[in-house]
Chain A
Amino acid sequence: MVNPAFAGRTYPPTPAYEVGREKIREFAEATGAHPAHTDPDAARALGYADVIAPPTFAVLIAQRCDAQLVRDPEAGIDYSRVVHGEQTFVHHRPIVAGDRLVAVLHVDGVRAAGGHAMVTTRSEIATEAGEPVCTASSTLVVRGES
């Protein structure tokens, strides 16, 4: 059973994730590439300093951040029972190649619903200097033992 005492917990910032051009390209090619993700000139024509990440790229950073909770034995989350329920990204600005991003995990809620547990997490992703870049929120459903 998921430990309700984790609700409201905030974690220290993660180590920096350095956003690489080629990682953006790889992710974009896996999800349907727009030239702004793969061609620096196309990105510059739209006003960006370098290639920008696709709208859901931040999940790479958010899922690493969530892992602090999910992989903590004290939290009582059986990962084989976890289903992704909801995901939201609020982009304060696009992620650009070369960004070094840190994330702070907030456990916004742990509640029981119909034999399952719903865990709501929020990763506040920012530059190392503290500029907000993306808020990624997710709801994980931990299916109950049936």
Chain B
Amino acid sequence: MIAFDDVAVGDSLPGASFPVTREHLVRYCGASGDFNTIHWSQRIARDVGLPDVIAHGMFTMATAVRVVTDWCGDPGAIVEYGVRFTKPVPVPDVGGAVIDVTAVVAVKDDAARTVRVDLTATIPGPDGAGPVGVLGRARAVVRLA
């Protein structure tokens, strides 16, 4: 477990890369009850102008915060978590996608004994282009002992 006094503003958390396949999306459909066809039908996703089936924004949100949970050791310590959904995550049938997550301690609140962790979640750009951010203002507030 991470102690409040051992954390400094600017500290980087261990980042992680999360592979995402169609199977992940189908599982998330079932677990969340969100069966929107753009998350499992390539035909319908393309009909509405998307490049491919896309991950649920809420799946990406849930995946990104694993970096914080794994760092602090207690998912119940996350007292606040918010994101903006800025770009979709296309998940091709073959090869899937990869979401890369990095995180840094941005704020320490000595009175509340909380830290704010700012997250960056990206996917590789198309055709070898640079990374594309898929979440904006992704922030988790964590209460530490």
Contact = CB atoms under 8 A, between A and B. Distances in A.
Interface of A: 26-27, 29-32, 34, 36-37, 46, 48, 52, 54-56, 59-60, 63, 80, 83-91, 94, 137
B58 A29 contact: no
Interface stretch (B4-12, B62-70, B124-132): B62-70
Given A30-B31, A46-B76, A84-B57, A55 B65 contact: yes
B82 interface: yes
Given A29-B31, A32-B66, 16 more contacts: A29-B27, A30-B30, A30-B31, A32-B62, A34-B70, A46-B76, A48-B76, A54-B69, A55-B81, A63-B32, A63-B33, A84-B85, A85-B84, A86-B84, A87-B85, A88-B80
Contacts of B59: 30-31
Interface size for chain B: under 10, 10 to 19, 20 to 34, or 35 or more residues? Answer: 20 to 34
Residue from A52, A80, A85, A91 with most neighbouring chain B CB atoms (10 Å): A91
